[in-house]
């Protein structure tokens, strides 16, 4: 297949954003109203792989928009060690493209038995996970045939953003309605992305870093590069990078940094300063001012609010992973040793 499926699914994302806003928003608002009426005091998120990065983004949303404590569940605490916690007044959100992995299903079943409000966010309304949760949100991504998740990830991001905003009592404004337009504009710059990918054709390792809402973006970029191009890609928050891993960075070491406008991007500036001092090879994805501080870069639209930048920033890097995999002789549709649905426990 040589990447045709992944390329097509990446290209579908502007229309998918429009579909979620058109067809999914009402159902999201209905579930949010039911959950809000029960006043959860704490939120737990459970996910694996790409969906875990969507959950990480959601954790930031919950803490900044709802003012509630939020945590990421360790599924093995339940599936391997048999742990069981009191869950009254806890909201558990399970995020999964397929809704089929046992290590997501069992924590949701036990949480619901223990009194939690449970919400499954999947691309599979007929899945076991959707049936096990009290509420279900369909991310409306449509069938995703490539092994590498692309459109299901951004569909999860948008669905979860709308859900948290609805829990907050806010309505979607012009910024979120402009996402399809911004996605179309960014994806149209594919030749620019292809030229950037050539620089890393022979890379063996790199580090991806960001802070705040886009820490999830950094982790998702690293995963895409590992599973499509088989290089060693480590993701760190900018703060964690300075707490030790910075020692491995020296002249020419490749770094991908997500530095959009906003407070999260501002918090990355001291990190960029340290990388410059070490003469790292920095590929900066962000606003024009941040990109000017790097070796190379891709300028993101500065009219997207920081809270929504993860939905746009990942798009050129999905294309980047696709181009890099092909340059290295791989098929991004069929990463070696991987299947579309990974069942763990």
Residue 124 DSSP label: -
Q: 2 Cβ partners below 8 Å, 6+ apart?
A: 326, 331, 333
Tens of pLDDT along the chain (345 residues) come to 588 999 999 999 999 999 999 999 999 999 999 999 999 999 999 999 999 999 999 999 999 999 999 999 988 888 788 888 889 999 999 999 999 988 899 999 999 999 999 999 999 999 999 999 999 999 999 999 988 999 999 999 999 999 999 999 987 789 999 999 999 999 999 999 999 999 999 999 999 999 999 999 999 999 999 999 999 999 999 999 999 999 999 999 999 999 999 999 999 999 999 999 999 999 999 999 999 999 999 999 999 999 999 999 999 999 999 999 999 998 888 887 665 566 565
Check residue 28 and give left, alpha or beta (phi > 0: left; psi -120 to 50: alpha). alpha
- Strand order through the sheet with 135-138: 70-72, 42-47, 90-96, 117-122, 135-138
**pTM of the prediction?**
0.96
User: What is the C-alpha separation between 330 and 215, in angstroms, rounded?
Assistant: 27
Residue 258: phi and psi, rounded to 5, are -100, 115
Taking the CA atoms of the chain, what radius of gyration do you get in angstroms? 19
In whole angstroms, give the CA distance from residue 101 to residue 128: 9
- Give the list of residues 6+ apart from residue 37 with CB closer than 8 angstroms, or none: none
Instruction: Give the tens place of pLDDT for each residue, 179-188.
Output: 999 999 999 9
CA distance 11 to 183: 9
- Cβ neighbours, 10 Å, residue 277: 10
At residue 50, φ and ψ (nearest 5 deg) are: -55, -40
- Cα–Cα distances in angstroms (integers) from residue 104 to residues 110, 127, 220, in the given order: 10, 12, 19
- CB 120, CB 132: distance < 8 Å: yes
Dig out the tokens for 102 from the structure: 């046992």
Q: Which residue has the tokens 């983004």?
A: 57
Six-digit token string for 54:
């969507």
Give the Å distances, CA to CA, from 108 to 92, 102, 134, 164, 234: 7, 10, 9, 19, 30
Distance (Å, whole) CA 222 – CA 176: 26
Residue 315 CB: number of other CB atoms within 10 A?
A: 24
- DSSP letter string, 189-250: THHHHHHHHHTTTT--EEEEEE-GGGHHHHHHHHHHHHHHH--EEEEEEHHHHHTTGGGG--
Residue with tokens 């209905």: 30
Tell me: the pLDDT tens digits for 252-311? 999 999 999 999 999 999 999 999 999 999 999 999 999 999 999 999 999 999 999 999
Measured CA to CA, the distance from residue 227 to residue 150 in angstroms comes to: 12
Tokens of 203: 């890379």
Residues 6+ apart with CB under 8 A from 135: 31, 34, 35, 117, 118, 119, 120
User: What angle do the packed helices 309-327 and 4-11 form, to 10 degrees?
Assistant: 160
Alpha-carbon separation of residue 99 from 21, 48, 120, 191 (angstroms): 22, 11, 8, 35
């Amino acid at each position: 297949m040589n990447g045709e499926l992944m390329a097509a699914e990446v290209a579908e994302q502007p229309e998918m954003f429009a579909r979620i806003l058109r067809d999914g928003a009402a159902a999201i608002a209905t579930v949010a109203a039911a959950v809000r009426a029960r006043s959860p005091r704490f939120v737990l998120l459970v996910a694996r792989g790409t969906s875990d990065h969507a959950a990480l983004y959601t954790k930031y949303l919950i803490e900044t928009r709802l003012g509630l404590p939020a945590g990421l569940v360790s599924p093995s605490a339940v599936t391997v060690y048999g742990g069981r916690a009191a869950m009254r007044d806890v909201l558990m959100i399970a995020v999964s493209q397929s809704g089929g992995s046992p290590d997501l299903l069992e924590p949701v079943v036990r949480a619901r038995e223990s009194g939690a409000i449970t919400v499954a966010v999947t691309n599979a309304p007929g899945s076991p996970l959707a049936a096990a949760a009290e509420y279900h949100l369909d991310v409306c991504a449509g069938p995703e045939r490539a092994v590498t998740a692309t459109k299901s990830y951004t569909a999860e991001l948008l669905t979860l953003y709308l859900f948290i905003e609805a829990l907050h009592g806010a309505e979607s404004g012009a910024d979120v309605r402009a996402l399809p337009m911004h996605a179309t504009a960014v994806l149209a710059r594919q030749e620019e992305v292809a030229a950037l990918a050539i620089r890393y054709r022979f890379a063996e390792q790199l580090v991806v870093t960001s802070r705040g809402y886009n820490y999830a973006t950094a982790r998702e970029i690293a995963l895409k590069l590992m599973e499509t191009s088989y290089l060693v890609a480590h993701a760190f928050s900018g703060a964690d990078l300075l707490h030790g891993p910075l020692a491995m960075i020296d002249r020419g070491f490749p770094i991908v940094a997500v530095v959009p406008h906003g407070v999260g991007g501002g918090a990355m500036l001291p990190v960029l300063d340290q990388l410059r001092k070490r003469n790292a090879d920095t590929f900066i994805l962000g606003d024009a001012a941040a990109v000017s501080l790097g070796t190379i870069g891709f300028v993101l639209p500065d009219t997207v609010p920081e809270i929504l930048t993860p939905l746009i920033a990942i798009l050129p890097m999905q294309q980047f992973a696709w181009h890099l995999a092909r340059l290295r002789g791989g098929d991004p549709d069929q990463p070696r040793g991987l299947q579309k649905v990974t069942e763990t426990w």
